[in-house]
Chain A
């Protein structure tokens, strides 16, 4: 796993700035807060016009990584570069290259959509008729040209997000960074946003890095980096990652002790098992036959079972040995997204 990761990260900055093989390069990035390590030597590269996903549960370090890439924070060690410019050494140059959409709301609700973009344009040195033209251009791209003169506080959550996106794209950045951009959006607005990101990649060749904790969003990325507790645990296309699962995924709900059941299955069928709470998880090439054998072998020990095609969550479990969401973090994530929804 480690060798695969470093092979991709090896493309040096010199190569990048000329032939642009990698637009974002993260090399051995380490970040420590006072009493915990948020990033523990992460390396990967993002290619031009790629929709790159950073998937991980809360606390996996993806937000820290996002802050370092967007030049808001200086890493403890390692290097993060965008278009060949070091985010810690040359923040001004990096800032020129990137458009950033934060999880928190950055538009000013007391201003109109037009005014929000007008101020944003000034921050990037755009002005006058050129700026005005560009504002209407980007507003029509996100479908809000007819609402330009309305105060942002009168907009729905989805419309506000589209203004955020318009803000991030106003100055034609080559690289767009988005931190959990669909937080607080309803399913329809989520789908729209992802469709727009794909259009952006295809038509304007923007390289997009997006963080998410949602599997179905990660599925839509060209390539994915999966993070857990500050480490990169997997890197590749969603299909590649899923193909490493050996066959189908079998989940058993143990009637009594899952650990004991797992051990007995392992001894009898010589398969690898993982225990998740009261469940036993296995991968098997011919799962439909295998489950019948297991059920017959352990009557009364199994309450329920499921067989499924491998999903990204299975990749995560395989690499980390635990579920993507534990019960506790799940609740936390829920209240988290509620928080942002309310803003």
Chain B
């Protein structure tokens, strides 16, 4: 019943950043595991990608050259892992467009929540999902002739986290101004898949030439693929030392998060919904 106390706000002056970010992160995780088909897709698709694409290419082309006696399925393993992370991260941010089409995002935007909390919560949610998926793929590592010890696994986890975070933040920045998932698919096909193709995932950097090689050097994903390759196949030659790849990934992550933050902070005179 109506007492005078009911009128007084019971909420503190500000929700801060962490509590809203936590709640948005947790919602992302809960939503994901409530959609059973998404969970199945997450577990099955990595294996399918790796085996089908890897085996197909392996028998069609001789890898040879700089990769020595390594067979293509093995060569492709780090690239497949990055592809899984790329797809999960980017598709996770499709939920941002859904949140916008439904009213959920609106209700977050009219709450006294700093935009940085929205970006942080959503991006960490997507990052968590895609990092988990990437790490699940490590189960198949023995089939690629990879046997990891614990420190290696932890380093792989760091690399996977950084790549997931950067790509999810990139996905956030792309998805934020969009109002349809179709347009988002367009961007993925035009921009993100070529980004992956030119990351050393499918063919080695050493054998690329001309402008392709330049693009590959400028592609931040290249450093993710090479960092993984360096960790998974320590005996192989890599074009970049691990610390410099990791530093590049960290920089990539920070720049992408900054970009996502800038996108979310634009206050606009256009319709927000």
Contact = CB atoms under 8 A, between A and B. Distances in A.
Contacts of A123: 15, 20, 23, 107-108, 111-113
A234 B12 CA distance: 39
Interface stretch (B28-36, B178-186, B228-236): B28-36
B139 interface: no
Given A74-B269, A110-B31, A130 B106 contact: no
Interface stretch (B2-10, B86-94, B250-258): B2-10
Contact of B272 (A73, A106, A124): A73
A76 interface: yes
20 contacts: A67-B272, A72-B109, A73-B268, A76-B269, A92-B112, A96-B11, A98-B110, A102-B106, A108-B31, A120-B107, A122-B19, A125-B15, A125-B16, A172-B6, A173-B9, A174-B9, A202-B2, A204-B2, A204-B7, A205-B2
Nearest to A125: B15
B22 interface: yes
A126 B272 contact: no
Given A92-B112, A104-B102, 17 more contacts: A74-B268, A75-B269, A96-B11, A103-B103, A104-B101, A104-B103, A110-B30, A110-B31, A122-B20, A123-B15, A123-B20, A124-B111, A125-B12, A125-B19, A127-B19, A172-B7, A174-B9
Given A124-B11, A124-B112, A72 B269 contact: no
A339 to B, nearest CB: 12
Interface residues of B, number: 43
Q: Report whether over half of chain A's contact residues are helix, strand or loop; otherwise say mixed.
A: loop
B71 to A, nearest CB: 43
Interface in A70-122: 70-76, 91-92, 95-96, 98, 100, 102-108, 110-111, 115, 118-120, 122
A104 B27 CA distance: 19
B10 A172 contact: yes
Contacts of B268: 73-74
B40 interface: no
A223 interface: no
A162 interface: no
Contacts of B190: none
Given A72-B109, A73-B268, A111-B27, A104 B11 contact: no
